[in-house]
Amino acid sequence: MERSRHFLDRLTAWSPVLLLGGLAALTYWLDAQVQSPSNAGARGPRHEPDMYIENFRAVALGPDGKPRQSISAARAEHFADDQTSEFADPRLMLTEPGRPALTLTAERGKLSADRDHAWFSGNVRAVRDAPPGGADDGTPGGAMTLTTQSLHVDTRRERFDTDDPVTIEEPRGIIGGIGLEFDNVAKTARLKKQIHGTMQPRAMPGKTP
């Protein structure tokens, strides 16, 4: 149980607030296009896209002019009836200075009109690169990968969750379970049930793992 708890503690080091910030910003450009004068009044009662973009890509730059967040998709669609946006094969990349790069991919994505909620589905995969300087517990750092079939993100409360099976992998082991709740404010992660996995023991000072 202690090993599982330590593994989840490592998950909280992903700094998913970067992911949440990226989700809140990923449709600014698309939304601006829809609200332009050329699209004014183009509103339909049915749930049909009033605008779509093939090979969509948007990049947010930092103060130094370098990319910090980017979202791309094979196709992006905006729906006038509920102001939602949907994405085919979305790919979100976050590259904040001093933090591990994070890449999230899925088969489908959807963003609510108020940008408070996002949903990813179909082979959802989040990969965090190795942290700079390795792990903070004296063990070697490494990439971490989370895979599941669906992921809901509450951007306002900085939480994400799923009821589907989840697998988390890192160089020292693998852990899985059914359902996941992550709270970035409280810095807590909880696998809901059927938790299982294997981990190498933590390295002791002066000893080889």
Distance (Å, whole) CA 168 – CA 166: 7
The pTM of this model reads 0.75
CB 146 within 8 A of CB 125: yes
Q: What is the pLDDT of residue 44?
A: 46
Q: What string of H, E and C letters represents the secondary structure of 99-141?
A: CCCEEEECCEEEECCCCCEEEEEEEEEEEECCCCCCCCCCCCC
Closest CA to 153 of 21, 32, 59: 21
Q: For residue 107, what are its two tokens? A: 């088969």
Q: How many of the other CB atoms lie within 10 Å of CB of 177?
A: 19
- pLDDT tens digits, one per residue of 104-117: 899 999 988 887 88
Residue 165 has pLDDT above 60, yes or no: yes
Looking at residues 181-189, what average pLDDT do you find? 80
User: Is 16 or 162 the better-scoring residue by pLDDT?
Assistant: 162
pLDDT(65) > 90: no
Instruction: Go through the domains of the chain in sequence order and give each one's CATH number.
Output: 2-39+51-199 (2.60.450.10)
Q: Kindly tell me if the per-residue pLDDT of 3 is higher than 60.
A: no
